[in-house]
Chains A and B, each alone.
Chain A
């Protein structure tokens, strides 16, 4: 109904290049493989990013090499497109390497924003988006030479949107200011064909069919945060988040709850090559679910005493109980990143 509002609102300012000061070079640390590592991506090679500007690369998934990048900001996400690597993170930093990590440039660095990017996605080597805290949303059409900030009011829940509309009618400047502070954290963006999905703060799950120009927010009966969303096939979409909650939709409209009986926040969804579903979480939690997914009647807010997990759902913890952030399969093995560094998971 409010298509006009749901449309993207492009703020008319370009990314601040002057802030790209001579950033400090990363410390090459012997223990980098045991540091807090936050994201992993794999294509023909594997790239891992983490705290203090740590970027690691591996050709074989076994031995990793730390790269000299011109930043010490904590990197929260990375993506590979061909030979290109983009890594984003705190201080609104965006790092880019055009040559599999040989050389690096700082495409954006705005510590004064006091907002981190939390995920990055490229459609091709030119067109990409980086998103993060408080609705932070940057887009590039030229491989990151320039980034434009966008604000998507369509990501807000209906009540907030209604409130903002009333504000806008009176004062456009105040509207922008309010929008800036009211937008939720955008924790994860995933692509499925031409459809994009976002998982975010306070029950935010949304879909876009136009590369993120406009968003349709799903209605979910849960106000906790989501940290990952992943389509399993054209109909089924899975979302995981705070306190071990998993939701699934089979018709892109109604979300159903899958009980895990664990209160550990789930950070990422990982699909094995044999199509088994895993969710990776804090406290080293590994939740597996077999398909078809069974839903539960349990209340997601309740404490899990006297709780039975949904059929086919099993939980276990990795030995050191370090928070698991994400995983990829590469060269026939599952490589995960955790708060204690790189882990090879044995999921069988």
Chain B
């Protein structure tokens, strides 16, 4: 079979190169059409129970996709002409930005921002900013200041210290002009340009937060990826040259790997996908994996060429010996990434498709194209001489390492590994799900976006961290005292749950309105039992308040949270599940959940639920492929056990570094396992065939090390250096992924070189050198 393919490939090698060149041209063109593409819904588990509730009701209550714009006066006092003019302009500008739900733009200037006061005859009231407002007049500014206090909006629409005022808006999911899903990145760009760009100056600062802005900033940060890509290519080139001592042998694997990336991007565009900023790292990985397999290839060619058989025959021989192990390794990478498809979150699925496609492409570019290209080289005597003598020093090094497969070292290694595993296992139990830090987790704390978030949560009493529990009941239910009392009691119990800062619902607002109808007397701050009185109180609350739908059959209870740490979220969600049992009837359900924290709760639960199946499938795939290719349970065990230990240690590292398991870190372990298995497969493919021929463990291992060891060592280091540069990324999640992948690449490599032989020594107990 291999021979047939080998013949087919090398007999038509010029044609093959031409086909590859054409395909690269075509896909390269496609790749140049690639667009960045981000959507809110891709980041959430749409089929999760909570998200079903969210989707069902978001027409009435808006989504979790909103924008907060805080306009701040740098002198700390908003009551001046310039500030109010700017605020009005920001309001108007935001209103006209495409994608903004115009009925839900709220600021001091919106007519719905009103005050009411109690006078002897009843109520008096009006808009906070009167229609004839003249920002030039000090009297008008004083009047607005008084109205703001009466309207009770300090802390929400106006900063508690009167240094800022807020404009809020909800975003549409569908672009009303095109009918297509909203282009979030374009909107983010508009916000930056039309709000911050226009209005920020020496007197005014503009602070914008919300998912759309966040993802826009992530996309900007993701553009740095090009720089990292360049750095990674440079480092890799130097390393490969150091390894191959030949410019051509440096250029070819890099070229083939770049071709793999081009193909991957082109195919992605062809399939109609865009590149999401959150999975911008995949091309990196594809390149790194391509190089690692390319290095195996040049290593094999070099080993053959040194014996002086010429480039073409060396390339053919390398092709023959690496097609199976390389193919298996890449196939297990592909399958490993494909397992991520089981996770019902759009962005992870996209990552799975992007990554598995990229890796599958490497089979063609680096296992087929690369040896074909190398067969055209002239590996002259000069080249061969460079390696003369090098083999000897390598041999000595590998002989030392080969001691790992002797009895005493093997037992020590296995004991240490077992101890690490136990330690890692207990650490991994403490791994947290979700975001562990305040602000947007994808970005650093020092980023403008997170600084803006901190400023807004500091200056206002609002928080972007809220969860809505939707009370689903019968039409006109808000006129029923018992329904409203159940909501009110439930809300009070939830307010008493640690982590909940405050809460609001139609019931709690109705109580305040009722006090208002009774001369503002706090003693009347109750839900009236009299239905007419209750209706009178509720009729003051418009549906635009987001506290009830048109026929008040659905009413959210909004809980404002102290933070969005996973522990806080799960404590609150658990409390909801306990308390709602007391109040739910056939006609009244308390459904989780909406609001940004509701989305996080669903995502956390989906991620948590996905973790075990994902590991199961990744390892299942790896085990199945090892069994098929090695046809040996022992061989499979020696590959898989070190992998598993390393993945547990990676979880322990996450606990230690306070990296939570999130949508962006969840795939890392699958990626790490998928790539980490390559080392073991390469080492073992030589070793296993030697063992099958009757060699002892020690002989087989030394032979494997001599043949593949330097390439494995080299690959691990190259991959690790490539991803470790991510530590300097402006994106926090990229940094986290960089740390974790570096760890997994290095430790998996060590596992394959050190733990694998020790395990083999024990598993093939009777197949050892005498005295080893």
Contact = CB atoms under 8 A, between A and B. Distances in A.
A265 B525 contact: no
Contacts of A283: 149
Contacts of A90: 526
Contact of B519 (A38, A225, A325, A339): A225
Contacts of A72: 489
Given A29-B496, A52-B492, A282-B520, A74 B525 contact: yes
Interface in A219-237: 223-225, 227
A342 B120 CA distance: 29
- 4 closest A-B pairs by CB: A224-B120, A76-B523, A74-B526, A323-B522
Nearest to A74: B526
Interface string A234-273: 0000000011000000000000000000010101000000
B272 to A, nearest CB: 52
A117 to B, nearest CB: 10
Contacts of B520: 265, 282
Contacts of A223: 120
Nearest to A118: B523
Interface in B499-540: 519-526, 528-530, 533
A35 B521 CA distance: 16
B119 interface: yes
B422 interface: no
A31 B502 CA distance: 11
Interface string A18-41: 000000000101110001101000
Interface of A: 27, 29-31, 35-36, 38, 51-52, 72, 74, 76, 90-91, 111, 114, 116, 118, 187, 201, 223-225, 227, 242-243, 263, 265, 267, 282-283, 301, 323, 325, 339
Given A74-B526, A227-B521, A339-B525, A27 B489 contact: yes
A51 B489 contact: no
Nearest to A300: B120
A263 B522 contact: no
18 contacts: A27-B492, A27-B493, A31-B496, A36-B522, A38-B523, A52-B489, A52-B492, A74-B523, A76-B523, A114-B528, A225-B521, A242-B120, A243-B118, A263-B117, A265-B521, A301-B120, A339-B522, A339-B525
A265 B492 CA distance: 27
B495 interface: yes
Contacts of B519: 201, 225, 242, 265
Contacts of B492: 27, 29, 35, 52
Nearest to B117: A263
A65 to B, nearest CB: 16
Given A114-B530, A224-B120, A263-B117, A282 B496 contact: no
Interface of B: 117-120, 149, 489, 492-493, 495-496, 498, 519-526, 528-530, 533
A223 B119 CA distance: 11
B120 A38 contact: no
Nearest to A27: B493
A52 B496 CA distance: 14
A282 B120 CA distance: 15
A64 B633 CA distance: 69
A323 B522 CA distance: 8
Given A114-B530, A265-B118, A51 B525 contact: yes
Contact of A36 (B118, B120, B496, B525): B525
A51 B495 contact: no
Contacts of A263: 117
Contacts of B149: 283
A223 B120 CA distance: 7
A72 B524 CA distance: 15
A314 B25 CA distance: 83
Contacts of B496: 29-31
Contacts of B493: 27, 29
A51 B526 contact: yes
Nearest to B142: A305
Contact of A91 (B117, B120, B521, B529): B529
Given A30-B498, A267-B521, 13 more contacts: A51-B525, A52-B492, A74-B523, A114-B530, A116-B526, A118-B523, A201-B519, A225-B521, A242-B519, A243-B120, A265-B520, A282-B522, A301-B120
A29 B496 CA distance: 6
A38 B511 CA distance: 14
A38 B526 CA distance: 12
B529 A38 contact: no
A138 B493 CA distance: 33
Contacts of B495: 31
Given A27-B493, A30-B496, A114-B530, A242 B523 contact: no
A152 B172 CA distance: 61
A215 to B, nearest CB: 22
Contact of A242 (B118, B489, B526, B530): B118
Nearest to A35: B492
Instruction: With a 10 A CB-CB cut-off, give which of B117, B519, B530 has the most chain A CB atoms.
Output: B519
Contacts of B498: 30
B649 to A, nearest CB: 40
Nearest to B124: A303
Nearest to B498: A30
Contacts of B117: 263
B419 to A, nearest CB: 44
A72 B528 CA distance: 14
A31 to B, nearest CB: 5
Contacts of A242: 118, 120, 519
A69 B239 CA distance: 77
Contact of A243 (B119, B489, B528): B119
B515 to A, nearest CB: 9
A55 B748 CA distance: 63
Contacts of B489: 27, 52, 72
Q: Which residue, of B118, B120, B496, has the highest number of chain A Cβ atoms within 10 A?
A: B120
B483 to A, nearest CB: 16
B635 to A, nearest CB: 59
B512 to A, nearest CB: 9
A111 B526 CA distance: 13
B119 A116 contact: no
A257 to B, nearest CB: 14
Contacts of B523: 38, 74, 76, 116, 118, 325
Contacts of A114: 528-530, 533
